[in-house]
Structure 1
Amino acid sequence: MASAVVIGASGGLGRALVGALALGGEHASVFALSRAGAALGDVVPEPVRYGCVDVTNEASIAAAAERVARCGPVGLVIVATGLLHQSGLVPEKAIRTLDPAAMATVFAVNTIGPALVAKHFLPLLPRSGRSVFAALSARVGSIDDNRLGGWYAYRASKAALNQILRTLSIEAKRTHPDAIVAGLHPGTVATGLSRPFRPDAGAPGLFTPEASAAHLLAVLDGLNPPDSGGVFAWDGQRIPA
């Protein structure tokens, strides 16, 4: 069996993905990589292997890929990192509030980070046989589906990520014809990322991390090589570019 890798395993959804993959028993190891690099609460300990990675530091990503490569083939990579807000950084309601430093920070995590993960982890996927490289995107990254405006940095970073995934899928077909590259929209998940913007607990359309992880893994299980390059919502529907 090949291994699975979750980048951003210390977040709410990342932890849930690690737990679901570990319980699924379909992977030789599940690498739970994050800046924390420590044991992740109640996640099943076997076959989880913990490690450090910082998606804003290419040397850290390269070192993590080297550690994973020593343990055999990799069949699944999920980048579960994301930045919407933090202290001193909030989504913009109008263009006049756009801050270049904040925008660069958002792009570093949401766009450049996953691209660098692909750079170093795509070579670990088998040249033949089904494999998956996926990254968490967002419906608000869709240009055609933008109805409300605002959130310039976050929307643009996810739109750019979607383009990177699409471009990666084209390149991957040349060397990994059975590989699937996909973006995933998890819906609104009860995690720290969505806390200031989500509906009350129990409201329709709000998922626990565990429910969202189950949805996303089911979506990935249903994808085939012709789907590569697309962005898919938690219910399997393709999101327009």
Structure 2
Amino acid sequence: MVLKLDVNHEQEILEAAEQVKQNFGRLDLLINSSAMLHPSKRGETSLRDVSAQGVISTLTTNTVGPLVMAKYFAPLLQKGSGAFGQQPAVKAKHHSGIIANITAKVGSIGDNGLGGWYSYRMSKAALNMATRNLSIELGRSRPKVVCVSIHPGTVNTDLSRPYHKNVPKEKLFSPEHSVSCLMSIINSLNIDKTGKAYSWDGTELPW
């Protein structure tokens, strides 16, 4: 079943969750991949480029949207089968579902040595905080839901296209390769790995 929704509209998210509930009654995996670089399609290179509306629009799509998705789909994930990830031997540590928020390396505060891209960096850093908060709240629930942020690498999409010339050929991933890497990470997750950020190769990213 394919559902069309705009993550900037809460009512559409609510209606999508209701349709999933009516048709399946549960959800095993939620991947929040909605993103925009900036309304202008170019990241800010200096403070002069910053506009309030640009920041607000970017955070609405990249941060608020995934958080509201989690709000409405978490109850379905708590009814999930635990089909994704690894289940520990201890039953109390089993999880029923997984939330994977697609972040970006440039959203890492500890890794930021270049600056720029105010809106996009801020939106992904805030998304990482949402991931951490979700992991704490949904990690206390029974059944538990694993929540992580995952950096997919530089993927050959419209979002990254203006910057392809600066990316080594071997570091520019096809969507298919990126998805394969992401699913490998997702299928390795358990409750002990919740609340963290991972890069496409499985290494942990600093917040």
TM-score w.r.t. structure 2 length?
0.88
Query: Which residue identity lines up with residue 205 of structure 1 in the other structure?
Result: K
Structure 2: which 5+ residue stretches go unaligned?
A: 80-93
Give the Cα separation in 2 of the matches to 1:107 and 1:85.
9
Q: Find the counterpart in structure 1 of residue 139 from structure 2.
A: 173
Structure richer in helix, relative to its length: 2
- Structure 2 residue aligned with 1:138, among 97, 104, 110? 104
> Taking structure 1 as reference, are residues 200 and 147 closer, same or farther at Cα in structure 2, changes over 3 Å only?
closer
Q: Deviations over 1:73-118 (max 9, x none)?
A: 21101111100044x3421111121111011100010000001001
- Structure 2 residue aligned with 1:161, among 127, 130, 136? 127
Q: Find the counterpart in structure 2 of residue 83 from structure 1.
A: 36
Q: Deviations over 1:136-169 (max 9, x none)?
A: 1001000000011100110000000000010010
Q: Does 1:207 align with 2:173?
A: yes
- Structure 2 residue aligned with 1:194, among 145, 160, 175? 160
Return the structure number with greater relative CO, CA threshold 8 A, min gap 6. 2
- Structure 1 residue aligned with 2:76, among 117, 124, 130? 124
Q: Find the counterpart in structure 2 of residue 50 from structure 1.
A: 2
Q: Does 1:95 align with 2:61?
A: no
How much has 1:178 moved relative to structure 2? 3.5
Give the Cα separation in 2 of the matches to 1:205 and 1:146.
19
How much has 1:64 moved relative to structure 2? 0.3
Aligned residues: 192
Q: Is the 8 A contact 1:89 1:102 kept in 2?
A: no
Give the Cα separation in 1 of the matches to 2:70 and 2:8.
13
CA RMSD of aligned residues (A): 1.6
How much has 1:177 moved relative to structure 2? 4.8
> Taking structure 1 as reference, are residues 57 and 157 closer, same or farther at Cα in structure 2, changes over 3 Å only?
same
Structure 1: which 5+ residue stretches go unaligned?
A: 1-48
TM-score w.r.t. structure 1 length?
0.76
Q: Find the counterpart in structure 2 of residue 9 from structure 1.
A: none
Percent of paired sites with the same residue = 40
- Structure 2 residue aligned with 1:110, among 32, 45, 62? 62
Task: Report the secondary structure of 1:74's partner residue.
Answer: coil
